[in-house]
A and B are shown apart, each in its own frame.
Chain A
Amino acid sequence: AQTVTQSQPEMSVQEAETVTLSCTYDTSESDYYLFWYKQPPSRQMILVIRQEAYKQQNATENRFSVNFQKAAKSFSLKISDSQLGDAAMYFCAYRSARGAQKLVFGQGTRLTINP
């Protein structure tokens, strides 16, 4: 079974600074997708960024980018120019490219932005 591990229960960063959230996963599959979801206090799960395992290029969405290291099974999220609205729980998630589309989530990292 696949597992996802987020080793940082909490992180904090100064507004306008850069922060990196860590995620590692375990799988025997070669084809899969990885995601970062944001859960603000409103509790809505919002997709931040996704990465296809077959793509070597790291995904980027505006201020959000990932560092995908397939061999190391590592998938970190970098948030540049942090804003107060980035404060939330961040979840890393894995989904197989075959079979059921269920998401396997990490335990989450609570990100605090200091003004």
Chain B
Amino acid sequence: DSGVTQTPKHLITATGQRVTLRCSPRSGDLSVYWYQQSLDQGLQFLIQYYNGEERAKGNILERFSAQQFPDLHSELNLSSLELGDSALYFCASSVGVDGSNTEAFFGQGTRLTVV
């Protein structure tokens, strides 16, 4: 158990809908990262938050947004869902901030299926 909790584990929804994925980082970790794992794109970095502030952005679609709350949990919001958004979404957390020599620990992921 990495200590990173993601809910739900599985999610099935229809095209055009909106969903929210939730992540609770390890105790003491201030950074949260979101990654998308799909068959065609592989594992891609989406976005990083550190202590409530957006820190880095990757290949995140405009239909997707995220935030980190004062209790450090994070949510990834996916809207106007398309079939191609079906993927495994991972959250990871780490203690540190930019460049620091700390490990990122991954949650078990949320499997999103858009039908």
State how many residues of chain B have any CB contact under 8 Å with chain A. Answer: 30
Residue of B nearest to A105 (CB): B43
B99:A96 contact, CB within 8 angstroms: yes
Selected contact of A100 from candidates B55, B90, B92, B106, CB within 8 Å: B55
Q: B37-50 CB contact bits vs A (8 Å, 1 = yes)?
A: 00000111100100
Task: Tell me whether B94 is interfacial, beta carbon within 8 Å.
Answer: yes
State how many residues of chain A have any CB contact under 8 Å with chain B. Answer: 24
Selected contact of B96 from candidates A42, A44, A101, CB within 8 Å: A101
Residue of B nearest to A107 (CB): B42
Please indicate the chain B residues that have their CB under 8 angstroms from the CB of A19 in the complex.
none
B99:A98 contact, CB within 8 angstroms: yes
Residue of B nearest to A52 (CB): B101
Interface residues of A in 16-34 (CB under 8 A from B): 33
Please indicate the chain B residues that have their CB under 8 angstroms from the CB of A101 in the complex.
31, 33, 48, 56, 94, 96-100, 102, 104
Task: Tell me whether B21 is interfacial, beta carbon within 8 Å.
Answer: no
Residue of A nearest to B42 (CB): A107
Residue of A nearest to B1 (CB): A44
A91:B43 contact, CB within 8 angstroms: yes
Main secondary structure of the interface of A (DSSP, over half): loop
A100:B42 contact, CB within 8 angstroms: no
Q: A27-64 CB contact bits vs B (8 Å, 1 = yes)?
A: 00000010001000011111100101000000000000
Selected contact of B88 from candidates A43, A50, A52, CB within 8 Å: A43
B98:A98 contact, CB within 8 angstroms: yes
Task: Tell me whether B108 is interfacial, beta carbon within 8 Å.
Answer: yes
By a beta-carbon cutoff of 8 Å, the part of chain B in contact with chain A is 2, 31, 33, 35, 42-45, 48, 55-56, 58, 88, 90, 92, 94, 96-106, 108-109, 111
By a beta-carbon cutoff of 8 Å, the part of chain A in contact with chain B is 33, 37, 42-47, 50, 52, 91, 96-108
- A–B complex contacts, Cβ < 8 Å, 30 sampled: A33-B101, A37-B106, A42-B108, A43-B108, A43-B111, A44-B2, A44-B109, A45-B90, A45-B106, A45-B109, A52-B101, A97-B99, A97-B101, A98-B98, A98-B99, A99-B56, A99-B99, A101-B31, A101-B48, A101-B97, A101-B99, A101-B100, A102-B45, A102-B56, A103-B35, A103-B43, A103-B45, A103-B104, A104-B45, A105-B42
